[in-house]
Amino acid sequence: MVSLDNSWMPSAMVESETQGEAPFGFTPVRLVAQRIVMDIIEPTKLENSEDWKIIISELKKWGQVPNPETLSIISTKNTERGLSVNLESDGIIWIAQFLPWGSDGRLQSRVANSHSEMNIPSGGYSWNSSDIIILRKSLKYEQNVGEKLHESLTESNFEDSKSILNEAGKKLGLYHSSIESARITPVDQQRWNKRLMKLEEILKSNTIWRAPFTRDTPCVLSLGDVRFDDFLIKENGLFSLSINPPRLADGLFKDECEFPAIRDFACLMHDLSRIYHKSNSNMDIVLLRKSLIDGWISTAPEKWCSSNAFYAHKGGLVIWEYEQSLLDVLEAFARQSGAPEPAVSIISKVIPFQKKMYSNRSPAAIAFVSFFLGIITIYHQTPTTLSELLMPVFCITVGIAGFYLYRKASPSPTKPITHF
């Protein structure tokens, strides 16, 4: 194994015998815990350029990668998403990020269709259609946005926090605008709900949440996990969004579906909740969330961030925040790192939140019946006098008003679920 402590490995999982395959220079490892299994591959040895040549010998190259003949290893370190290696080749510093649990197979498409201002991998190596290593030229930057946001929240600097959130939302929206013409498939409602069901079963959760998703949330080349640490502040002060390796939960619970743009945004919104919780900020979270939302909708495709996409009665933003909370708990379970906040608090509020939404159905039911009666009355007997017209018009009016009230009763996306 690599001569590192492998601190990214989930501590609650143990190595088990595996018959899995791995390319030359890698070792297959199966990690198991109660109700979860994860297969990974690790480089067997990585100390010098000769080891690097062995590692890439059976991998398929894509994009621009460093010349292995002039390559030298500068340093290696573990991150929570796997091994990261600093390389030098022909006077250029490279960062190689290993993906122990692979990728969803769409990373190269994201790179090819990303906005020009993004910090994307220059190339990489894949095996069996899964990305194993991604490489990028080292980018000079002042700070990552996650650190800056935490500082501004801790210091209760409201204007700076709003500005950071708004700019980060805009950058994410620019990515979504850049992929709008690349690949779009219909809403995958059945698989999304099935995914939630499986997560709830694995975690033995007492919550059940299924939603009839709106057509304004089609599947796109979504980024997956998006966090403020993925945004870098360059020397000119501009933000740059990075495409980074997938999170541990993506290895513990493999995706069997694609996702909508609002799921990317929910990842970022959930990360705001994490940083806000850690900072113990006393600022109004509703106003902070609004700044992030305003930033995203100012640059993202109009339909993907429409009021229908945010509409809580059809999933909206909140159901994807719930999914992110479940994934946080799954990772904490694998790492034995204790109850993750604010994920646990969010999940605890799901049942009261659902009861509130169910109670909203009363005006909708009255509206439907009233509207239906009005239409049926006109259909069966065309009104010939004003008095005959009054009752069906009244019923239709009540129906329309009821539908309007039902929609207005949908919880606002600016308000976190913990505030209901």
Q: What is the CATH number of the domain that holds 90?
A: 3.30.200
Look at residue 1 and tell me if it is in a domain: no
- Measured CA to CA, the distance from residue 10 to residue 240 in angstroms comes to 30
- Measured CA to CA, the distance from residue 163 to residue 211 in angstroms comes to 33
Asked if 122 and 242 sit in the same domain, the reply is: no
Most confident of the following: 38-42, 59-63, 126-130, 358-362: 59-63
Q: At residue 373, does pLDDT exceed 80? A: no
Look at residue 81 and tell me if it is in a domain: yes
Helix, strand, coil fractions of the chain, as percent rounded to 5: 45, 20, 35
Look at residue 286 and tell me if it is in a domain: yes
Asked if 397 and 260 sit in the same domain, the reply is: no
Q: At residue 407, does pLDDT exceed 80? A: no
Asked if 131 and 185 sit in the same domain, the reply is: no
- Measured CA to CA, the distance from residue 400 to residue 394 in angstroms comes to 10
- Measured CA to CA, the distance from residue 386 to residue 95 in angstroms comes to 77
Domain boundary among 137, 152, 185: 137
Q: At residue 370, does pLDDT exceed 80? A: no
Other beta carbons less than 10 A from residue 268's beta carbon = 25
Asked if 294 and 387 sit in the same domain, the reply is: no
Asked if 278 and 149 sit in the same domain, the reply is: yes
Asked if 272 and 250 sit in the same domain, the reply is: yes
Look at residue 8 and tell me if it is in a domain: no
Look at residue 66 and tell me if it is in a domain: yes
Asked if 74 and 149 sit in the same domain, the reply is: no
Selection from 289, 78, 253 nearest residue 165 by Cα = 289
Mean pLDDT (the chain, rounded): 89
SS3 state of residue 157: coil
Asked if 163 and 310 sit in the same domain, the reply is: yes
342 preceded by cis ω (within 30°)? yes
Q: At residue 405, does pLDDT exceed 80? A: no
Domain boundary among 110, 137, 164: 137
Q: Which residues pair with 240 in a beta bridge?
A: 232
pLDDT tens for each residue of 213-225: 999 999 999 999 9
Q: pLDDT confidence of 2, banded at 50, 70, 90?
A: very low
CA angle 145/146/150 to nearest 5° reads 115
Asked if 78 and 43 count as a contact pair (C-beta separation under 8 A), the reply is no
Look at residue 319 and tell me if it is in a domain: yes
Say what percent of the chain tops pLDDT 70. 87
Asked if 218 and 279 sit in the same domain, the reply is: yes
Asked if 223 and 307 sit in the same domain, the reply is: yes
Q: pLDDT confidence of 117, banded at 50, 70, 90?
A: confident
Domain boundary among 87, 115, 137: 137
Domain of 131? 14-137
Asked if 104 and 178 sit in the same domain, the reply is: no
pLDDT tens for each residue of 182-207: 989 999 999 999 999 999 999 999 99
pLDDT of residue 116: 87
Write 88-93 long-range contacts (CB < 8 A, 24+). 90/66, 92/66, 92/137, 92/138, 93/137, 93/138
What domain count does the chain have?
3
Q: pLDDT confidence of 371, banded at 50, 70, 90?
A: low
pLDDT tens for each residue of 268-288: 999 999 999 999 999 999 999
Q: pLDDT confidence of 364, banded at 50, 70, 90?
A: low
150: which residues sit within 8 A by CB, 6+ positions away?
275, 278, 279
Q: pLDDT confidence of 88, banded at 50, 70, 90?
A: very high
pLDDT of residue 336: 87
Say what percent of the chain tops pLDDT 90. 70
CATH classification of the domain holding 252:
3.90.1200.10
Q: At residue 342, does pLDDT exceed 90? A: yes
Look at residue 155 and tell me if it is in a domain: yes
Asked if 146 and 133 sit in the same domain, the reply is: no
Q: At residue 7, does pLDDT exceed 70? A: no
Look at residue 121 and tell me if it is in a domain: yes
